[in-house]
Amino acid sequence: MASWIEIKEDSDFSLRNLPYGVFSTDGPKPPRIGIAIGDHVLDMSVLAADGVFDDIGFDVKTITGETTLNSYAAQGKDVHSKVRKRLQDLLEKETKLGSLLRDNQGRRARALVPMNSVKMHLPMAIGDYTDFFIGLHHAVICADVIKPGAKIEQLCPCFYNLPVAYNGRASSVVVSGTPFHRPRGQVPVENGQIVSGPCRKLDFEVEFACFIGKGNAFGQEIKVDQAEEHIFGFVLMNDWSARDIQFYEAPMMGPFNGKSFCTSVSPWVVPLDALEPFRTLPSETPMKRLLADYLTGKKTKSAYNIPIKATLEANSERYDIATCNTNNVIFSFPQMLAHHTRGGCPLRPGDLVATGTLSGPTKAESGCFFEQTRGGKEPYELKALKMGKGSVQRGFLEDNDTVEFRAQVSLGDGLGNVGFGVCGGKVLPAL
């Protein structure tokens, strides 16, 4: 799968990947759909307008006429697989379709945009955003931090029986690179006085999320074995959290302002097909469990083995926070979608569905400071990525900290990586 376009060995964007994004360039052209390939963005609107997809059998206006991926995602998996095949055929070194792109200098110049010249946008208009809570170690450790000695099934009796979730705030989801101000909010009363001001326990959360392609009708469930038909692709997600605000407001109704100030996603939506080689089993639960029929599917390798690396940048130095993995979950995406729609709730193209924090069992695998520092009580030492550059301590995030997530997988055959680009954001001081 070598390409006639130069793809560096460490690139996230090999021919195996071909993730979708929405980009713009300087000038009057509105944002448009592109594909990441090496250090370039392939402008899909140029190819679609030039008829390169005309024989595939879908409405190319879902590419040429749109500033988000929603309409294209709604076309369904068959179309996406055919377009993906066409793109690989166009881009591979020994392409038989050379005249369509490689050997057409004019079209190449219009269609291939250097990645360092583009601005990325939120790839989809998000109708609803759902955040699950299916990370095994995250739940187990958080339970113990919240109430020392407590097991998660004591705090949340359904935890092992169904994929727990809450509705997040769609309007505050932003694309990687968007900075945000430390949120203000209310925290528990001190000395009989209301306490209102900037968050004192600002945290990140390492998550993995899918965007919905084809939706389901009001009242109709999605069966677990058909659920992958509804997944368009995946992104990395940082569910920034204000722990002090969250824990004060959440006892009856769950998280609200503690989460709704910012949620960051990586800009490139990696197709389901690109992750096929990286399937694995979800985590085992500590005790044997029964599952309801609607959660019991045929496909066993329904999770993915993708390490996600989190780093902190402070004072121009980068530090290692942790490496999580998308397989630290006790339910799969198909199970999440089956549960989500079990009562008839409609999912729509562009909806964002996330896993919750993907911690492993050790501190070096913990996906938030809340776990690493036991609620801020035990500051954690982050080592610099560059040898000899020392370390910094954090209880929670400080102003001007930048947190970034990266994930890249390969088959080790030298034929290219599947990566997500950066999911990053910077904490600005409170207003």
Binding annotation for Mg(2+): 239, 259, 263
The answer to whether 230 is a known catalytic residue is: no
The one among 11, 75, 238, 260 contacting a second copy by CB under 8 A:
260
Residues in the chain: 431
Taking CB under 8 A as the rule, does residue 121 contact a second copy?
Answer: no
* Amino acid identity for residue 226 in this structure: Q
Q: What whole-number distance in Å separates Cα of residue 253 and Cα of residue 258?
A: 12
Taking CB under 8 A as the rule, does residue 379 contact a second copy?
Answer: no
Q: What proportions of the chain, in percent to the nearest 5, are helix, strand and coil?
A: 25, 30, 45
Name which of residues 34 to 53 contact a second copy (CB under 8 A): none
Q: Give the pairing type, strands 202-203 and 317-325.
A: unpaired
Catalytic pick from 80, 137, 138, 340? 138
CB of 406 to a second copy, least distance (A): 24
**230 near 214, Cβ under 8 Å?**
yes
Category of 426 on φ-ψ map: left (φ > 0), alpha (ψ -120 to 50) or beta: beta
**165 near 131, Cβ under 8 Å?**
yes
The one among 105, 191, 196, 315 contacting a second copy by CB under 8 A:
196
The one among 26, 106, 190, 252 contacting a second copy by CB under 8 A:
252
Binding residue numbers = 131, 133, 205, 207, 239, 246, 259, 263, 357
Q: Which is nearer to a second copy, 96 or 288 (CB)?
A: 288
Q: What whole-number distance in Å separates Cα of residue 347 and Cα of residue 356?
A: 18
The one among 26, 27, 158, 387 contacting a second copy by CB under 8 A:
158
* Amino acid identity for residue 363 in this structure: K
Taking CB under 8 A as the rule, does residue 261 contact a second copy?
Answer: yes
Taking CB under 8 A as the rule, does residue 148 contact a second copy?
Answer: no
In the numeric block, the tokens 């998280």 are attached to 255
Q: Where are the alpha helices (DSSP H) in 168-254?
A: 243-253
The one among 135, 185, 297, 424 contacting a second copy by CB under 8 A:
185
The one among 186, 280, 285, 305 contacting a second copy by CB under 8 A:
186
In the numeric block, the tokens 């509804």 are attached to 230
Q: Which is nearer to a second copy, 180 or 278 (CB)?
A: 180
Taking CB under 8 A as the rule, does residue 75 contact a second copy?
Answer: no
Among positive and negative, which fits the CA dihedral 50, 53, 54, 60? Answer: negative
Residue 423 phi/psi, 5-degree rounding, is -115, 100
* Amino acid identity for residue 47 in this structure: L
Binding mask 323-352 for a second copy (x = CB under 8 A): ----------------xx-xxxxxxx--x-
The helix/strand/coil state of 309 is strand
CB of 181 to a second copy, least distance (A): 5
Name which of residues 263 to 322 contact a second copy (CB under 8 A): 290-294
Taking CB under 8 A as the rule, does residue 145 contact a second copy?
Answer: no
Q: What whole-number distance in Å separates Cα of residue 356 and Cα of residue 329?
A: 9
Task: List residues bridging with 304 in a β-sheet.
Answer: 279
Which residues of the chain form contacts with a second copy (CB under 8 A)?
A: 127-128, 133, 155-159, 161-162, 164-172, 174, 178, 180-181, 183-186, 188-189, 193-194, 196, 199, 218-219, 221, 242, 245, 248-257, 260-262, 290-294, 339-340, 342-348, 351, 431
**Which amino acids are annotated catalytic?**
138
